[in-house]
Structure 1
Amino acid sequence: MTLAEDLLQRARAACAIVTTAESCTGGMVAAAITDVPGSSVVFERGFVTYSNAAKTEMLEVQEETLEAHGAVSEEVAREMAEGARQAAKADIAVAISGIAGPGGSEHKPEGRVCYAVATASSVSSETIDHGALGRANVRAAATQHALKLLRDALPNG
């Protein structure tokens, strides 16, 4: 069973609607979910918010948060997740914002990805430095980690 299949099985069992708010993965998490037949039972929509304007317009990320912390921050990921959850009327949302590369900076190196998961009762976040694996590999690693975060936030069985 793939990670996406396990996630969807758990979401179905919990009668939970899931959604995504993606920046550096550009819709790859939503694609992985919708690759599974029957995913429409638990996934209605996702958000690709690559620019700061898209984050503020679609997910109600505060401009002040973007200015204070930058798009690649747990603070922004948390607002993305909560904004997506509310906009999609979902039970659970995952958000991803990171530096896929090439490039980066001393403070935000290539491979750094911030994640957040929002439910009706909580929002959690974390930052993972996947390393300078190259753009495709960072995006693939971020996609898998986001799927795992969603799956692990749902009840098992």
Structure 2
Amino acid sequence: MRAAGLRLVTAESCTGGMVCAALTAVPGSSDVVEGGIVTYSNAMKRSHLGVSETSLATHGAVSEAVAEEMAEGARARSGADVAVSITGIAGPGGSEHKPEGRVCFAIAGPAGTHSGTQEFGAIGRAEVRQASVAHALSLLLDAAQKVAPDR
């Protein structure tokens, strides 16, 4: 991100700020990290990120549509160049339609907004959260490399 001249923000639900914590554990991270927004409840997703009630009602909090709105809202509210968002079911629990280990991600940046879903499975709460952090960091790396591919 530094090489690409980009600043970033995180919007996290099931990871509870773990992505931002991983980023800020790196010395000098203040050069690129604007901050992180943890929105565990739907009310916080609406009030702090601008996620629409319609998206929550239609798709549910664990959906690519909501992940996209989370990333776009975080980016717009922070002034960051890139935002990554995470919303999922770390477990235990889940349902037939939204099983444990399903995590939706989005990245919003200069190239637009892109989302995807990872099915980590019922590997345990801590493991789903760690896998989600690793995936979010890889999304941020990919976004930076698209801007500064030779870095």
TM-score range, shorter chain: over 0.9
Matched, 1:151 2:141: yes
Pick from 4, 7, 19 the counterpart of residue 29 of structure 1.
19
Identify unmatched segments of 5+ residues in structure 1.
Answer: 1-10
* 1:101-130: CA deviation from partner (whole Å, max 9, x where unpaired): 000000000000000000134100000100
Distance in 1, Cα, partners of 2:58 & 2:51:
12
1:75-97 Cα deviation digits (max 9, x unpaired): 00000000001111000010000
List alignment gaps of at least 5 residues for structure 2.
Answer: none
Alignment pair present for 1:15 and 2:5: yes
Higher strand share: 2
Matched, 1:114 2:104: yes
Q: Percent identity between the aligned chains?
A: 62
Secondary structure at the residue paired with 1:55?
Answer: helix
**Residue 102, structure 1, aligned to residue 96, structure 2:** no
Amino acid at match of 2:112: S
Amino acid corresponding to residue 144 of structure 1 in structure 2? A
Matched with 1:46 is 36
1:47 aligns to what SS in structure 2? strand
Distance in 2 of aligned mates of 1:83 and 1:44: 14
Q: Deviation string for 1:39-70 (max 9, x for gaps)?
A: 00100211000000000000000011000000
Q: Taking structure 2 as the reference length, what is the TM-score of the superposition? A: 0.96
CA distance in 1, matches of 2:99, 2:119: 8
Matches of 1:44 and 1:127 in 2, distance apart? 25
Structure 2 Cα separation of the partners of residues 56 and 97 of structure 1: 14
RMSD: 0.7
Aligned residue pairs, count: 147
After superposing on structure 2, the runs of 4+ consecutive aligned residues of structure 1 that deviate more than 3 Å are none
Letter in 2 for 1:132: A
